[in-house]
Amino acid sequence: MIPCGMRPSPQDPVYALRRQLAREIVKSLGPGSQHVIARSYGISQPRMSELSRGLVARCSVEWLIRRIHRMGGSVELTVVLGDTRAAWHRERFERQRARLRGTGAGVSSGDALIPDLG
């Protein structure tokens, strides 16, 4: 469910996941299932109509997964995440390095007196 005042963004990964789950439900139940079949799985006719039109703002991921489970299906989740700690340290090191270059730290006093004529 979307908190009050927030509109779903198609770029939001959770919104995309909800749409994918809804598509699978609609595909499995087939056309014309709004009035008879969907009700057997705990999906009201108005909600099934919304799902078939891709309107998922009122459906939580949990609710959609529970419907899929009731229909005899399952949902697998794959998480792809790199070494975030190492990336954080690299970015921090680069920021510090850039900051030191910008302030002239690490430059010998003799080098600072030579004008750059380039």
**Domain presence at residue 44:** yes
Compare 95 and 1 and report the one with higher pLDDT: 95
Domains in the chain, number: 1
CA distance 13 to 17: 6
Interior angle at CA 66, CA 76 and CA 77, nearest 5: 15
**Domain presence at residue 30:** yes
Range of the domain at 27: 13-70
**Domain presence at residue 118:** no
**Domain presence at residue 5:** no
pTM listed for this prediction? 0.66
**Domain presence at residue 21:** yes
Question: 63-94: per-residue pLDDT in tens?
Answer: 999 999 999 999 999 999 899 999 999 999 99
**Domain presence at residue 116:** no
